Protein backbone atom coordinates (compact mmCIF):
# COMPACT_ATOMS: atom_id res chain seq x y z
CA UNK A 1 0.00 0.00 0.00
CA UNK A 2 1.16 3.51 -0.77
CA UNK A 3 0.68 4.65 2.83
CA UNK A 4 3.18 2.08 4.09
CA UNK A 5 5.71 2.97 1.37
CA UNK A 6 5.84 6.54 2.70
CA UNK A 7 6.17 5.55 6.36
CA UNK A 8 2.63 5.22 7.72
CA UNK A 9 1.52 2.13 9.59
CA UNK A 10 -1.96 2.11 8.06
CA UNK A 11 -4.02 3.67 5.30
CA UNK A 12 -6.35 5.24 7.86
CA UNK A 13 -3.43 6.96 9.61
CA UNK A 14 -2.21 8.30 6.26
CA UNK A 15 -5.72 9.49 5.35
CA UNK A 16 -6.10 11.36 8.66
CA UNK A 17 -2.75 13.10 8.27
CA UNK A 18 -3.42 13.89 4.60
CA UNK A 19 -6.75 15.51 5.48
CA UNK A 20 -5.22 17.45 8.36
CA UNK A 21 -2.50 18.85 6.08
CA UNK A 22 -4.44 19.38 2.83
CA UNK A 23 -7.99 19.84 4.12
CA UNK A 24 -9.42 17.04 1.95
CA UNK A 25 -9.21 13.25 1.98
CA UNK A 26 -6.94 11.46 -0.51
CA UNK A 27 -10.08 10.28 -2.36
CA UNK A 28 -11.45 13.81 -2.59
CA UNK A 29 -8.10 15.02 -3.90
CA UNK A 30 -7.98 12.25 -6.50
CA UNK A 31 -11.51 13.09 -7.67
CA UNK A 32 -10.53 16.77 -7.95
CA UNK A 33 -7.49 15.84 -10.03
CA UNK A 34 -9.59 13.65 -12.34
CA UNK A 35 -12.02 16.54 -12.83
CA UNK A 36 -9.16 18.92 -13.63
CA UNK A 37 -7.64 16.50 -16.15
CA UNK A 38 -11.00 16.13 -17.88
CA UNK A 39 -11.34 19.89 -18.43
Distance CA 9, CA 20 (A): 17
pLDDT at 1: 72
| Mean pLDDT by groups of 10 residues along the chain of 39 residues | 86 95 96 89
pLDDT at 12: 93
Contact 22, 29 (CB under 8 A): yes
Distance CA 39, CA 24 (A): 21
pLDDT at 22: 97
This prediction has a pTM of: 0.74
pLDDT at 10: 93
Amino acid sequence: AAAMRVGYESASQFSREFKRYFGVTPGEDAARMRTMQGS
